[in-house]
Amino acid sequence: MNLALWLERAGRGQRERPAVGHGTRVVLPYGALAARAARLAGALRDRHGLKPGDRVAIAANNAPAYVELLYGVWHAGLAAVPANAKLHGREFGYILEHSGARVCFASAGLDAEIAPHAPASLERLITVGGAEYERLFAADPIACVPRAGDDLAWLFYTSGTTGRPKGAMLTHRVLAVASHAYLAEVDPTAPGEPILHAAPMSHGSGLYIMGNLARCAVNVVPESGGFEPEEIFRLFDAWPRSSMFAAPTMVKRLIDCPADCNETNIRTIVFGGAAMYVEDALTALDRFGPRFAQIYGQGESPMTITVLPREDIAAREHPRWRERLASAGRPFACVDVMVTDEDDRPLPPGETGEILCRGDSVMAGYWRDPEASARTLRGGWLHTGDVGALDEDGYLTLKDRSKDVVISGGSNIYPREIEEVLLTHPGVREVSVIGRPDREWGEVVVAYVVGEAGAKDLDALCLGAVARFKRPKDYVFVAALPKNNYGKILKTELREMDATRSK
């Protein structure tokens, strides 16, 4: 059940069909992509001695090479460990050590960031596009290594309430089921149709590579490697019938971009990662037409818990249209979803509780963390930590996040991680980090601090310890934090205070 067999099949039967694009150019057809993956696999197995199940990290910016790296790793029977390119060197170091990765492929620039923090267990750090990298493709190709459906394919690092990243174990079966769900319910795709990877390929956008490759579609990476609205509009023209995954903040930037866009070239814009304001969704529909689909998922059930499909978003005549537009849609056909009370008992429609799901798109567990795995997957259900309610028609509305995660620009930021950094400063006695609603980013990080430290010093501390996008955008100095009788900080009360303060 090796996912790499999808590429092997395409490489044989669709040799000349475009597989990977960069900007407006085709850089690899399917025959060449399959050949490069087989040669990379040969180098990893025969030259570097990696064995089936070994982990290979990818710390890279969006680039055409991302596709051949993923499939070369899988072709060799190995497991990929993609890491967010925006992480700090120390954070990369933790993931490399915790995953036990023997090899890490890194973009130029990120290699220097990682090197001082690389653990002893890492045997080789290879710069993507460098001379050593290119020599790998001179190796003899090998046959695709057989893998079972339950074998690890992608170690997806997310975080929990402790702030320590956890590796969600996504198997070949998990990724295959999620890919089929995407093609069936989110974005039906024909051979040759493009998808633009403007969001990180290490996370949401990258999880759509497999479904598009299975359909012999074209995975296109912008020349910039990221998201620039004007460039995206040009790429829609260059690649008609394009789809794209976007965080709501990205959709907002597309709406606000004054450049011309021929919306008829857009097949689907799939948004997720955070809730979108209804007014923003209405504005997006007015500008680009009924070309949107919404998904709700987690790294633990990648992009696959609920879906609000194009037809629901476009159904203005439906009497509950605006209500549904504010929801996250209905469960995918491949999962069961329920809302429960604190004892995991199902709640009736309209009542709010924790969102649970189960199905073949759910992770096998957390890497090297049996306690967290048992807690999160107890009773055979993934406990998402998110709070919501199902209506009578099965539409799920997200209410809150019990884990206090801050979602800024579609990226998860975990308060405990930032709090632990800030508490290392001798001038900080207490701290609590929350998310403040923000129309551009969804939320921004705000730190409430008790102590004498200055904001500039705390900002410098964070910049030296965590990724830039995680640091607080505002520091509020207070005499005391609100607490209950047991001394626990009341974040709900803190958010209420912040809402009053920031008006």
| C-beta neighbour count of 478 within 10 angstroms | 14
Q: Which two tokens stand for residue 197?
A: 């990877």
Residue 306 has pLDDT above 50, yes or no: yes
CATH number of 4-390: 3.40.50.12780
pLDDT of residue 112: 97
Q: What's the pLDDT band for 484 if we cut at 50, 70, 90?
A: low
The rounded distance, in Å, linking the Cα atoms of 470 and 163 is 12
- Give percent of the chain with pLDDT exceeding 90: 83
Question: SS3 for 318-375, per residue?
Answer: CCCHHHHHCCCCEECCCEEEEEECCCCCECCCCCCEEEEEEECCCCCCECCCHHHHHH
**Residue extent(s) of CATH 3.30.300.30 domains in the chain:** 406-501
Residue 403 has pLDDT above 80, yes or no: no
Q: What's the DSSP call for residue 199? A: S
State the DSSP H helix or E strand holding residue 475, giving kind and residue range, or none if neither: strand 474-477
Please, which residues bridge with residue 383 across strands? Answer: 356
Contact 101, 44 (CB under 8 A): no
Q: CA angle, 244 as apex, 65 and 438 as ends, to 5°?
A: 110
* Residue-wise pLDDT tens digits, 321-362: 999 998 999 999 999 999 999 999 999 999 988 999 999 999
Of residues 410 and 343, the one with the higher pLDDT is 343
| Pairing, β 25-29 against β 103-106 | unpaired
Q: What's the pLDDT band for 489 if we cut at 50, 70, 90?
A: confident
* Residue-wise pLDDT tens digits, 88-115: 999 999 999 999 999 999 999 999 999 9
Calculate the CA 463 to chain-centre distance.
22
Q: What is the largest CA-CA distance in the chain?
A: 69
Q: Which of 225, 279, 270, 221 is nearest to 250 (CA)?
A: 270
Contact 85, 226 (CB under 8 A): no
Provide mean pLDDT across the span 186-214.
97
Of residues 411 and 186, the one with the higher pLDDT is 186
Q: What's the mean pLDDT when you consider all of the chain?
A: 93
Strand order of the β-sheet with 330-331 is: 25-29, 18-22, 218-221, 194-196, 242-246, 266-271, 292-298, 301-308, 330-331
Contact 313, 329 (CB under 8 A): no
pLDDT of residue 485: 46
Provide mean pLDDT across the span 483-488.
59
Q: What's the pLDDT band for 406 if we cut at 50, 70, 90?
A: confident
Name the least confident of 160-169, 368-377, 435-444: 160-169
Q: Which of 155, 57, 43, 59 is nearest to 111 (CA)?
A: 59
Residue 414 has pLDDT above 90, yes or no: no
Q: Which two tokens stand for residue 171?
A: 């198997």
Q: Which two tokens stand for residue 7?
A: 């590429």
The rounded distance, in Å, linking the Cα atoms of 243 and 268 is 5
pLDDT of residue 232: 98
Provide mean pLDDT across the span 152-177.
86
Question: SS3 for 54-115, per residue?
Answer: CEEEEECCCCCHHHHHHHHHHHCCCEEEECCCCCCHHHHHHHHHHHCCCEEEECCCHHHHHH
Provide mean pLDDT across the span 71-84.
97
Of residues 493 and 189, the one with the higher pLDDT is 189
Q: What's the pLDDT band for 275 if we cut at 50, 70, 90?
A: low
pLDDT of residue 178: 98
Place of tokens 């993934």: 382
Q: What's the pLDDT band for 165 if we cut at 50, 70, 90?
A: confident
pLDDT of residue 400: 59
**Residue extent(s) of CATH 3.40.50.12780 domains in the chain:** 4-390
The rounded distance, in Å, linking the Cα atoms of 476 and 450 is 9
The rounded distance, in Å, linking the Cα atoms of 201 and 179 is 15
Contact 387, 398 (CB under 8 A): yes
pLDDT of residue 120: 96
Please, which residues bridge with residue 430 across strands? Answer: 450
pLDDT of residue 160: 43
Contacts of residue 212, Cβ cutoff 8 Å, sequence gap at least 6: 189, 193, 195, 218, 219
The SS3 call for residue 153 is strand
Q: In a 10 Å sphere around its CB, with 0-12 CB exposed, 13-18 middle and 19+ buried, how is residue 358 labelled?
A: middle
Phi, psi of 173 (to 5 degrees): -65, -45
pLDDT of residue 222: 98
The rounded distance, in Å, linking the Cα atoms of 460 and 176 is 43
pLDDT of residue 408: 87
pLDDT of residue 163: 58
pLDDT of residue 161: 39
Residue 164 has pLDDT above 60, yes or no: yes
The rounded distance, in Å, linking the Cα atoms of 233 and 32 is 29
* Residue-wise pLDDT tens digits, 223-274: 999 999 999 999 999 999 999 999 888 998 999 899 999 999 999 999 997 6
Q: What's the pLDDT band for 159 if we cut at 50, 70, 90?
A: low
Q: What's the pLDDT band for 179 if we cut at 50, 70, 90?
A: very high
Structural fold of domain 406-501: GMP Synthetase; Chain A, domain 3 (3.30.300)
Name the least confident of 83-87, 149-153, 301-305, 488-492: 488-492
Name the least confident of 55-69, 177-191, 428-442: 428-442
The pTM score is 0.86
pLDDT of residue 119: 98
pLDDT of residue 401: 67
**Within 13 Å, how many C-alpha atoms sit on residue 42's CB side?**
15
DSSP per-residue letters across 381-441: -EEEEEEEEE-TTS-EEEEEETT--EEETTEEE-HHHHHHHHTTSTTEEEEEEEEEEETTT
Q: Provide the residue type at 372 as one letter.
A: A
Residue 487 has pLDDT above 60, yes or no: no
Q: Which two tokens stand for residue 158?
A: 């997310």
Please, which residues bridge with residue 483 across strands? Answer: 489
